[in-house]
Amino acid sequence: MVTGLGFQSSGDAARWNTLALVRTDRAGNAAVAVRPSRTTYYRTAVGRTATTNAASSRVLRLTVYPALAPYRNCDGLNSHYPHGVGTPGAKDRTSGTPVTTYLPSAAAYALNDGGVGQRDLDRDDDGIACEKR
pLDDT 10s digits, 66-116:
888 889 999 999 999 999 999 999 999 988 899 999 999 999 999 998 766
pLDDT at position 85 is: 95
pLDDT at position 1 is: 47
For the chain, the structural domain boundaries read: 5-62, 67-133
pLDDT at position 119 is: 74
Residue 2 has pLDDT above 60, yes or no: no
- Enclosing H/E stretch for 110: helix 106-111
How far, in Å, CA of 25 to CA of 5, rounded? 12
pLDDT at position 87 is: 95
**What's the predicted TM-score (pTM) here?**
0.57
How far, in Å, CA of 14 to CA of 58, rounded? 13
Burial of 31 (0-12, 13-18, 19+ CB in 10 A): exposed
State the chain's mean pLDDT as an integer.
88
